[in-house]
Chains A and B, each alone.
Chain A
Amino acid sequence: MFLAKLIAIPAGLLGLGLIFLPMSLQAQLMLSFAVLGIMFLGMTRPEKASFRLVTLIFAGIMALRYAFWRTTETLPSISEPINFIPAIILYLAEMYCLAMLAISYFMVVDPVKRITPDMGAPNDLPTVDIFIPSYNEDPELLAGTLAACKLIAYPQDRLNIYLLDDGGTEAKRNQSDPRQALAANYRHGQLKALCEAMGVNYHARKKNDHAKAGNLNEGLKISNGELVVVFDADHAPVRDFLKETVGFFREDPKLFLVQTPHYFLNPDPLEKNLKTFKRMPSENEMFYSILQRGLDKWNSSFFCGSAAVLRREALNTADGFSGQTITEDCETALALHSSGWHSIYVDKPLIAGLQPETFVSFIGQRARWCQGMLQILILRRPFLARGLTMAQRICYAGINLFWLFPLSRLIFMFSPLLYIFFSLEIYEANILEFASYAVTYLISSFAMQSYLYGKVRWPWISELYEYVQSVLLLGSIISVVRNPRKPTFNVTAKGQTLDRSKLSPLALPYFAIFFLLLAAALYSGYRLMTEPVASELLMIVAGWNIVNLSLAGAALGAIAERRELRRNQRLPVKRHAIMRVADKRYSVIILDASNGGVSIEFIDNAPAVDMADPLHATIELRRGGQLILFSVVCRSVHKGEGATTYGFAYAERTPDTFVAIAEMMYSDQAVLQERLLRRQVRKNFLWGTGRYVLWSFTESLRALRYSIGFIRESVVQSFGDAPVLLKTDSDPENEVIHLDPEAAAKARGTYYG
């Protein structure tokens, strides 16, 4: 193999030398055809490393040729500062994208698929502490998460669950504002009762120092398990969570982290507003299904704040969770990787959580990620961090640098306007050059996007998400660059509902940009029609602006928020059960379940249902010979083509009910896996482009409709969820405690994560 190295490295260097030769357009065009041909050939066997590397390297050739040409031929003279300054800004934005492309190729060069090792004999298993940090969340949602944790298959004597409540700290309970102090006290009492009823530990620290990281560190102090599991308040684990993760720690004593993906039950604002949730893979799937696996190859998969198992010993060496930045998860991983600890990523959805429902909370979440990652970039300088391997440096630099995308995206959006309105020549090329270099590069770029991420990302969706975030993250970037220590931890609001469709409060800049680009499109059309010698550059730029306009049009769909009445997210479970109605027993299939109720289908016959006198029933589930019972009341009947579906709400929600819910929803990991894979269908570029163009028209029109208040929606009345009833041992009279939904609603929707 030394001989192969002796041949391959000089060949690569010589090839690189050839790539960086200034060539004729003819040569470039022929090279592009050849390289694209070989790329497509390499794509035919993605599972073969050699084919994959050929594809990646040849895509790199296209990118390098473009970069070389862009650098040497397309920049205006420095003697024309009015052209040169914006040109160099655009150029730097492109070079940033190319650098990110190179890093991403490195990251995903050989993604790892882990095989779960045996967990080991029960007596040899490590002790595990589960931390559920919370801030101001709905107790009923917490009850669901706690119930799911309780159901985790692990020896009970080796498992401790901690609800770490930062909403009920002494500082909160004693704050000067009496209303807030009262709410904190009320919450403290409620959650304490809930934990007691569910048999888990409740802990509220004295002060809210260092936000989530401080809260977790407090958890470390009050616990002593060998392994620490962190779940966000809305992240309910599946039964096999520890079975899928703990075994790795036995195999590698230097392992500090096993991270698993975050699977979401609800759509984010884009998915909801563009109605893609059921068909299109979620935005985070690209990260969790591809990139984390790629990072895993280089021992760089990092802690994502939840759904992860960490080794206490490792955390202790780093004084617990790092809290210098507002993304404590990545920062902690960086510190431990720098100390020589290892990480592993398991590509199986083992938790189900919630995404921010509204555009405001979505942007708030992304602003925190963006600022936190840039804080790490500035304060921790991962590329220069001691103790990291070169591969880890590249990976961390890539992860952090990614969050500069708002700058490049906005530069791409606005650059064409400089030429259209002011004739500033910031990209000097004729149409033949553009076709030979830029178009061929774009073809390879789209092909690679499809090749690498096609299963988890429809065409143009990355661009759409980037743009939607960019408009409002620009300020976050400027803020963190000006003062890297300034950002503070803002919890992400989740679990919100919208009574009626409306424009997001953040809509204004999106409309402004849309109309600006529309004006530019119209003006460029006017110029093309009226200028006798329409320049080739104008045609290129006008086309570019049309692409941007489409993006801005589709993005209007994201900020035109559709109403969200659903309080509880359903999960299809398809589970057999027995329903008892009075003395009769009916065989049923539970189609889906949520924290509010279940949908069922009767297998043989169904009882008579009169909506004026709701049917009360009890559902029996069996697990391991143990009977699980819960009461339900019929709320709806939907007659389909072949079958009739009945909607039942829980008649009451006790801790046992939540255990039953967890049993239904989270006992089988395959349910999440199947739901994930069902959406991961590759869409071709033309289809994706067609869909995107359609959105551009329909969604911009919908947003315009919302802007003038033209919304046709009827009022929908729904039944409220059953109250949560607790029977606590500490209560001397063992009375039932009603968790007040209104009080909870005041603090609803803000969670860590």
Chain B
Amino acid sequence: MVRLGRYLLTSSLTLGLLTGAAFAQTLVDPAPSQTQTGRSTAPAGGSLLGNDTPAPGAPAAVATQALIPFEQALDQFNLDGEDGSTHLTFSLAASQLADGGALVLAYQNAVSVIPDASQLDIEVNGRAVGSVQIASPNGLKTESIRLNADFLREGRNDVTLRARQYHRVDCSLEATYELWTRIDPLTSGFAPVKRQGFTTPSDLLAVGRNSAGLTDLTLVIDGAVSPQMVNDAAPLMETLTLFLNRQDISVSVSNTPGSGPGIDVFVGTTQTRAQNAALNATFDAAAPGLSVRDGTTEGRASVFLKGNTSAELSRSLASAVQGPMSKGFQSGIFAPRSGSLQVEPSTTYTLADTGFTSRSFAGRLSRTSFDLVMPSDFYPADYGAIDLQLRAATSPGLKRTSQLLVRVNDLVIRSFPFRNTDGQEFKGKLIELPLRSFRPGVNRVELVAEVPMDSDDVCAPGRNDSGRPRLAMLDTTSLYVPPLARIGRLPDLSAFAGLGYPYSGGKAFDVFVDRPEPRSLSATMTLMARLALSARQPLNATVAFAQPNPSSARNALVMKSTNSASVAGLPLTSVGRGPSVEAGVSDEGATGAIAQDLPSPAPRDTGALLDAFRKSTAQLDEERSFKAELRDWFNNATRRFARWLNYENLDQPLAIDPQDSVVSVSQTQSPDGEATWTVVEARSPQDLLTGTNRLLQPFIWDRLQGGSAAIETANLSLVSLPATSRYIAEITDQTPGNIRRLAAAWFSDNFQFYVVMVVVLMGVFALWLGWLVPRKGVRTDK
């Protein structure tokens, strides 16, 4: 797998580097200010959680350098529920190993968490390094743990955090959702004793985040920008994104290097360097090929890719990928990602494959979650189910309400009651998860075990009952992914977000940017970097500053803004990704709630409006006649049945209003039907940048689905709409088995055809038998 990935990476990278647009265009706008691009310099140690308390110094007698951040995205810094855990990584250079350093964890917990009984257990590279009491409800508290070389290793180091936290006053199941601890990504990480600086590609893995909590990549282009420049730079930006393996990459295009933690990227051939005279001096100092050195400010790196031709750039990059960057890829993007399974059909996986370890649970509500990444051409329908074979045990004394809920993509799809109050052992209890609940790309699966006991009714706050486990969940609990119906069906934004489909697999496509100005280009390159991460390889894209070509057979990604005005009411500070993160934090909190994660959209369609009107003008219950109640019940039941019949989620919105959107994404077939266009559209370049950045936040990006989606202006939330119609992009598997599954899936979705076909075919057969039978045996046709 790793070898294959490397091969694809190299080959597609080479291909990408050899392509390029033939014309150049001058930047319309001057380089954006730092504020506009969201790269404002924030003092080191600034917190994303707000309410900072001063970052503690290193432990006594140890002087440390700037923090090496954890690499994970923001949503992995949360520890929710009574027993929450997360896996983080940070990278360490060989030279820093001997002196060690300190693991710094800045955290804040919910007020509900009782301090005496709640604790955070910390493991580094599989070894316990200590526990701390969770006791910081009013602001950030920083814990620092000194680690010597014995606990550390060169390259990526694993950190496992497990928070066992209890409620102060409430022992109900619901109250467990109020329990959380947040690790601050900006002020947490590893503080090495020895400073490393940036001299090799591996050093880039330690680059810090900017004040917005993002990993900043700035492509420095001075003066005129041409598609050639962008096409030369794009493979490097994508390669760096893959190398860093961070989901919070923010790419900017600027005529000056950035400031604060981040990476400035300089790419130039002889030709393009001539067009960027101002940067010639900078380039002159760089060696040919790929080189890394310290940037202009503390914590900032500069990466140069220098060559005479585009082909030379490609070769240099390929050489770096196979050389000094190789280990970084293997330990990063190609290593098994904790909490995620990239699944293949007809294969069995265990929870251990997601990084889960067997554990006993002493609380009331256990939550185990992981991502299932389904193939991009997976057709979700009712032809099968993923078999979850539960291997677990419950203890005696559980209430009869105890159950295991399986949530997929935020919807409860199965509940399995733990009926035996005397305790029970499950040695592979089969729970079927219907394939229709899944989608191509990333699927969030949560196993929520509600295991209340009668003793919970007499709530004794602070009681530490960890010694009395209620549930043991084994990591041998398995998931069997059945043979899947495989067909490339578009539009499908979940495959787009989760796997970069249909732009993955080294397939050549075009990127059309209607305005070659910094914000549009920044949005475009950030999106391309993120797509490369989803595809797990660089894209084979050709950027052009133009409108899409309707007659082209190549797929296209279209970035466009309809006018230059910014959406009224959108705060300027939301430019870039700073404020979005705040929204993200609040969203993370919402992920723990049982209630619908995404805010319900206001009713837009006529039906919904009428429904709302009916509700607002409804008489009081006692005034209503039985007949009226019956009629309403019947109408409601009919409506629900009709929506069920059409596979409509009762909570899903009915339409997207472009006027209320910062940015919208939609997939369509190109006018001549030969290709797929994914159009990212906003009303202005500023909205395009803001909206794209919001869209790319992991919490949003992983929930992208359907045929179109938008970021709402009002609350920057995501609204996704199912595709009204789909078309077939490709069929990769033409075996009879797959054809049968496809038939089952398609007929399920279009059951009117199924019904008609069965009726007609069997009707013809029956009529023929009606003619034949009287003539067989004893004749009765006379």
Q: Is the CB of A54 within 8 A of B763?
A: yes
**Per-position 1/0 for A191-227, Cβ under 8 A of B:** 0000000000000000000000000000000000000
With contact pairs A22-B384, A53-B770, A77-B428 given, residues A110 and B777 touching in the complex (Cβ less than 8 Å): yes
Q: Is the CB of B770 within 8 A of A24?
A: no
With contact pairs A26-B644, A79-B430 given, residues A14 and B761 touching in the complex (Cβ less than 8 Å): yes
Stretch among A27-35, A445-453, A642-650 lining the B interface: A27-35
Q: Is the CB of A423 within 8 A of B767?
A: no
With contact pairs A53-B769, A110-B777 given, residues A533 and B401 touching in the complex (Cβ less than 8 Å): yes
Interface residues of A in 421-452 (CB under 8 A from B): 423, 428
Taking CB atoms, residues of chain B closer than 8 Å to A9 are: 765, 768
Taking CB atoms, residues of chain B closer than 8 Å to A276 are: none
With contact pairs A51-B770, A299-B778 given, residues A22 and B428 touching in the complex (Cβ less than 8 Å): no
Taking CB atoms, residues of chain A closer than 8 Å to B389 are: 77, 79
**Per-position 1/0 for A1-32, Cβ under 8 A of B:** 10011011101101101110111111101110
Give, as a whole number of angstroms, the nearest-CB distance from B333 to chain A: 36
Cβ-based interface call for B2 (8 A) = no
Dominant secondary structure at the B interface:
helix
Cβ-based interface call for B748 (8 A) = yes
| Complex Cα gap A296–B759 (Å) | 31
With contact pairs A21-B743, A22-B384, A30-B755 given, residues A49 and B400 touching in the complex (Cβ less than 8 Å): no
Give, as a whole number of angstroms, the nearest-CB distance from A507 to chain B: 36
Taking CB atoms, residues of chain B closer than 8 Å to A22 are: 382-384, 744
Cβ-based interface call for A76 (8 A) = yes
Using a CB–CB distance below 8 Å, which chain B residues touch chain A?
381-384, 387, 389, 399-401, 403, 415, 417, 419-420, 427-430, 432, 436, 644-647, 740, 743-744, 747-749, 751-752, 754-755, 757-771, 773-774, 777-778, 780-781
Q: Is the CB of A80 within 8 A of B771?
A: no
Taking CB atoms, residues of chain B closer than 8 Å to A54 are: 763, 766-767, 770
Cβ-based interface call for A124 (8 A) = no
A–B pairs, 24, beta carbons within 8 Å: A4-B771, A8-B768, A11-B761, A15-B762, A15-B765, A21-B740, A24-B382, A30-B751, A30-B755, A31-B754, A34-B755, A49-B771, A50-B766, A52-B770, A54-B766, A76-B430, A77-B387, A77-B430, A79-B430, A110-B777, A299-B778, A423-B420, A428-B430, A533-B417
Taking CB atoms, residues of chain B closer than 8 Å to A112 are: 778, 780
With contact pairs A21-B743, A533-B400 given, residues A30 and B752 touching in the complex (Cβ less than 8 Å): yes
With contact pairs A31-B755, A80-B428, A533-B401 given, residues A23 and B645 touching in the complex (Cβ less than 8 Å): no
Instruction: Please tell me the size bucket of the interface on A.
Output: 35 or more
**Which of B432, B755, B762, B764 gathers most chain A CB within 10 Å?**
B762
Taking CB atoms, residues of chain B closer than 8 Å to A5 are: 768
| Complex Cα gap A27–B745 (Å) | 11
**Per-position 1/0 for A259-281, Cβ under 8 A of B:** 00000000000000000000000
Q: Is the CB of A110 within 8 A of B773?
A: yes
Other-chain contact of A27, B399, B755, B763, B766 (Cβ < 8 Å):
B755
Using a CB–CB distance below 8 Å, which chain A residues touch chain B?
1, 4-5, 7-9, 11-12, 14-15, 17-19, 21-27, 29-31, 34-35, 38, 48-54, 56-58, 61, 73, 76-77, 79-80, 109-110, 112, 296-299, 391, 423, 428, 530-533, 535
Q: Is the CB of B645 within 8 A of A80?
A: no
Q: Is the CB of A4 within 8 A of B768?
A: yes
Q: Is the CB of A23 within 8 A of B417?
A: no
Taking CB atoms, residues of chain B closer than 8 Å to A34 are: 755, 758-759
**Which of A1, A17, A27 gathers most chain B CB within 10 Å?**
A27
Other-chain contact of A24, B748, B752, B760 (Cβ < 8 Å):
B748
| Complex Cα gap A532–B415 (Å) | 13
Task: Rank and list the top 9 A-B pairs by shortest CB-CB distance, nearest first.
Answer: A50-B770, A8-B768, A27-B751, A15-B761, A12-B765, A24-B382, A79-B428, A77-B430, A57-B766
Q: Is the CB of B754 within 8 A of A50?
A: no
Q: Which of chain B's residues has its CB closest to A294's CB?
A: B777
Taking CB atoms, residues of chain A closer than 8 Å to B751 are: 23-24, 26-27, 30-31
Q: Is the CB of B401 within 8 A of A19?
A: no
Other-chain contact of B744, A23, A80, A428 (Cβ < 8 Å):
A23
Other-chain contact of A23, B429, B748, B778 (Cβ < 8 Å):
B748
Q: Which of chain B's residues has its CB closest to A531's CB?
A: B400
**Which of A31, A35, A112 gathers most chain B CB within 10 Å?**
A31
Taking CB atoms, residues of chain A closer than 8 Å to B645 are: 26, 29-30
**Which of A15, A56, A79 gathers most chain B CB within 10 Å?**
A15
Q: Is the CB of B430 within 8 A of A27?
A: no
| Complex Cα gap A296–B763 (Å) | 26
Q: Is the CB of A58 within 8 A of B762?
A: yes
Given A18-B747, A34-B758, A530-B400, 10 more A-B residue pairs with CB atoms under 8 Å apart are A12-B765, A18-B754, A23-B748, A23-B754, A27-B382, A30-B645, A35-B759, A50-B767, A56-B766, A77-B428
| Complex Cα gap A49–B773 (Å) | 8
Taking CB atoms, residues of chain A closer than 8 Å to B744 are: 21-23
Give, as a whole number of angstroms, the nearest-CB distance from B705 to chain A: 19
Q: Which of chain B's residues has its CB closest to A53's CB?
A: B770
With contact pairs A19-B758, A53-B767 given, residues A80 and B429 touching in the complex (Cβ less than 8 Å): yes
Other-chain contact of A57, B401, B644, B769, B780 (Cβ < 8 Å):
B769
With contact pairs A12-B761, A21-B744, A30-B751 given, residues A110 and B780 touching in the complex (Cβ less than 8 Å): yes
Q: Is the CB of B769 within 8 A of A80?
A: no
Taking CB atoms, residues of chain B closer than 8 Å to A391 are: 777
Give, as a whole number of angstroms, the nearest-CB distance from B454 to chain A: 13
Q: Is the CB of B764 within 8 A of A8?
A: yes
With contact pairs A12-B762, A77-B429 given, residues A26 and B748 touching in the complex (Cβ less than 8 Å): yes
With contact pairs A21-B744, A109-B773 given, residues A8 and B765 touching in the complex (Cβ less than 8 Å): yes
| Complex Cα gap A58–B781 (Å) | 22
| Complex Cα gap A9–B768 (Å) | 9
Give, as a whole number of angstroms, the nearest-CB distance from A389 to chain B: 9
| Complex Cα gap A57–B774 (Å) | 15
Other-chain contact of A61, B747, B762, B764, B770 (Cβ < 8 Å):
B762
| Complex Cα gap A192–B770 (Å) | 56
Other-chain contact of A11, B749, B755, B764 (Cβ < 8 Å):
B764
Taking CB atoms, residues of chain B closer than 8 Å to A15 are: 757-758, 761-762, 765
With contact pairs A24-B751, A76-B430 given, residues A18 and B757 touching in the complex (Cβ less than 8 Å): yes
Q: Which of chain A's residues has its CB closest to B414's CB?
A: A430
Q: Which of chain A's residues has its CB closest to B434's CB?
A: A24
Q: Is the CB of A80 within 8 A of B427?
A: yes
Taking CB atoms, residues of chain B closer than 8 Å to A73 are: 432
Give, as a whole number of angstroms, the nearest-CB distance from B490 to chain A: 21
| Complex Cα gap A58–B429 (Å) | 36
| Complex Cα gap A108–B484 (Å) | 42
Give, as a whole number of angstroms, the nearest-CB distance from B483 to chain A: 11
Other-chain contact of A296, B381, B427, B432, B778 (Cβ < 8 Å):
B778
Q: Which of chain A's residues has its CB closest to B435's CB?
A: A22
| Complex Cα gap A19–B382 (Å) | 14
Taking CB atoms, residues of chain A closer than 8 Å to B773 are: 49, 53, 109-110
Q: Is the CB of B427 within 8 A of A297?
A: no
Taking CB atoms, residues of chain A closer than 8 Å to B401 are: 532-533
| Complex Cα gap A439–B770 (Å) | 28
Taking CB atoms, residues of chain B closer than 8 Å to A30 are: 645, 751-752, 754-755
Q: Which of chain B's residues has its CB closest to A114's CB?
A: B778
Give, as a whole number of angstroms, the nearest-CB distance from A446 to chain B: 21
Q: Is the CB of A49 within 8 A of B780?
A: yes
Give, as a whole number of angstroms, the nearest-CB distance from B216 to chain A: 47
Q: Is the CB of B755 within 8 A of A297?
A: no
With contact pairs A79-B427, A80-B427 given, residues A24 and B755 touching in the complex (Cβ less than 8 Å): no
With contact pairs A77-B430, A80-B429, A532-B400 given, residues A25 and B382 touching in the complex (Cβ less than 8 Å): yes
Taking CB atoms, residues of chain A closer than 8 Å to B647 are: 24, 26
Q: Which of chain A's residues has its CB closest to B763's CB?
A: A54
Q: Is the CB of A11 within 8 A of B417?
A: no
Taking CB atoms, residues of chain A closer than 8 Å to B436 are: 24
Taking CB atoms, residues of chain A closer than 8 Å to B384 are: 22
| Complex Cα gap A8–B427 (Å) | 49
